[in-house]
Amino acid sequence: MDIPVVNLAAESAAADIGEACRTAGFFTVTNHGVSAALQHDLETLSRDFFAQDLPTKTRLRMSRAGQALRGYFPVGGELTSGRPDLKEGLYFGKETPAGRPMHGPNLFPSETFRTVVLTYMTAMTDLGHRLMSLIALSLGHPADHFQSRYTNDPFTLFRIFNYPPGDGTDWGVGEHTDYGLLTILKQQTPGLQVKLHNTWIDVPVEDNTFVCNIGDMLDRLTDGQYRSTPHRVAGQRDSDRLSWPFFFDPGFDVPFSAVGLTKQTWDGVDPYAFEGTYGDWLTAKVRKVFPELLGTTPGPGPTAAH
């Protein structure tokens, strides 16, 4: 089975997304309206940043931002199921007042980097609203179903990851599902793999497209009609792999109550049984990724990686 491709300019876009969410949990979108020039600027700045030596990159180390979780981490600095990932990265989020977990100002390498990243995050937020409207329509709901209930003020996170070359024998990121509503991924190099019908398939790289996938919270909100699908990133051999995942999620303070279903998950944590705010869910997940920044209070296991 191939990853479905959805043309967002087509009249059938909502139906096509619904079919993709039911069968694969992943789909690629074309005609998305995000500026190709903006994407090019982001690619150039990202490659230039990761090409620098480690001491220069660690000037933006995440410990400077504390519980806001902003800035740079080196290879092995992020965990999936307790194992270090073979990637380095930059973490960004909304520019918000500090004082709460996952809130605070970003750390940027330059003013140009700031402008490009914040402009890109705005474009991705707009695309996230557009996609969630189509997902609502595909379920037979009004277009504003999710926005009026969960994403009027979405909690958005943006990552830039670099997977350096190695011997290719280990995983850049191990098997996992995403924890939120919707992930929108820009990728330039193969490596992402999706588990469909117990078979791992490679996600192809197509110019000026985005790969989208369902997270555990959307799986929950659709009573399992739309699938949060396991995926992983293969280790690299000959060259670096850069990727740009954007996470479009419910508002931080949106409450959730337990529902009468169960789901067998990769990390043993059932999203259907969770009660609390989305911020509680998210913080518990990320606490397992960066325990030295958020502490080690027990909570669901994580990841946020593509």
pLDDT level of residue 303 (50, 70, 90 thresholds): very low
CA torsion angle 261 213 86 74 (round to 10): -100
Which domains, and CATH codes, for the chain?
Answer: 5-294 (2.60.120.330)
Contact assessment for residue 155 and residue 213, using Cβ atoms and an 8 Å cutoff: no
Q: Give the residue among 130, 101, 136, 128 at the shortest CA–CA distance from 182.
A: 128
Q: Is 149 helix (H, G, I), strand (E, B) or coil?
A: helix
Of the candidate ranges 7-16, 51-60, 221-230, the one whose mean pLDDT is the lowest: 221-230
pLDDT tens digits, 257-290: 877 666 666 566 678 888 999 999 999 888 877 8
pLDDT tens track for 150-199:
999 999 999 999 999 876 667 778 888 999 999 999 998 899 999 999 99
